[in-house]
Amino acid sequence: MALQAIAFYLLAVATVVAGLLVVSARNPVHSVLFLITAFFSAAGLFVLLGAEFLAMLLIVVYVGAVAVLFLFVVMMLDVDFAELRQGFAQYLPIGGLVAGFLTLEMIFVAATVATNGAAGKSAVPMASAPGVPNTEMIGRVLYTDYIFFFQLAGLVLLVAMIGAIVLTLRHKPGVKRQDIGKQIARTPKTGMELVQIKPGEGISE
């Protein structure tokens, strides 16, 4: 138990500190690296909760794909971050006010949770059935109870794909593309042309 508590506090502190560094780091590449750290520690927290599938998913999807994609974007795009920061002082008062309100409210909610507990007894989310690991449990419900959400999420991804194609694909005329059907259908007759050349005249195209 003590080991678990130590692990929890270590990971929790690492997550929060990494999160703070993401927004405060001067170099955007460092920000992304801290983001990856935050994802890793969050994955550790998931393991502590017994949600090993989610932990692996976080690493594979967020660290493996999303964060690396961020890194690419940050390094490839020539964004002038000094220029982006220019309005910082100008927007600080209003931003600070909103952030202050939110912090106050969060503290208020945290205090309520501390005194009353998070949810009513009836409202505690159901853990997976005893003896069934949560990876198997997710597999069981994903295509049965949650089939509606699963299919709709597929459609959301489809829309994203259509959108990317509509907004970026351009059919340029005059680009030579390989057409295998055409290549196979070629016969000696269509592939070559016999030209009678009169002596001394050459061929004019």
Partner 1 sequence: MTFAANFSLVLPEAILGASALVLLVWGAFHGKVSPLFTGAAVLALLGAAVAAMAGPHGHAFNGVYAADAAATYAKVAIYLFSAIAVVLGDRWLAVRGDQKFEFAVLIVLAALGMGVTASAGDLISLYIGVELQSLALYVLAAFRRDDAKSSEAGLKYFVLGALSSGLLLYGASLIYGFAGSTRFADIAAVAHGAHGMGLLFGLVFLICGLAFKVSAAPFHMWTPDVYEGAPTPVVGFFAAAPKLAAMMMLARVLGDAFPDAAGQWRQILIITSLASVFVGAFAGLAQSNLKRLWAYSSIANVGYALLGVATGGETGLGSMLLFMTLYMVDVTGFFACLQALSRDGKPMETIEDMAGLVKERPGVALAMTAFSLSALGLPPFSGFWAKFYVFGAAMGSGDVLLQWAAVLGLVGSVVAAFYYLRLIKTMWFDAPASAVDKPQPTARAIGFAAALFSFPVVLVALIWLDPAARAAAAAFGHA
Stretch touching partner 1 by CB under 8 A, among 4-12, 38-46, 64-72, 152-160? 152-160
Stretch touching partner 1 by CB under 8 A, among 12-20, 55-63, 93-101, 160-168? 160-168
Shortest Cβ 102–partner 1 spacing (Å): 10
Among 120, 130, 131, 173, binds partner 1 (CB under 8 A): 120
Among 5, 29, 84, 160, binds partner 1 (CB under 8 A): 160
CA-nearest of 19, 37, 4, 46 to 134 is 46
- Check residue 118 for interaction with partner 1 (CB under 8 A): yes
- Under the rule (CB under 8 A), what is the footprint of partner 1? 105, 108-109, 112-113, 116-120, 122-125, 145, 147-149, 151-153, 155-156, 158-160, 162-163, 165-168
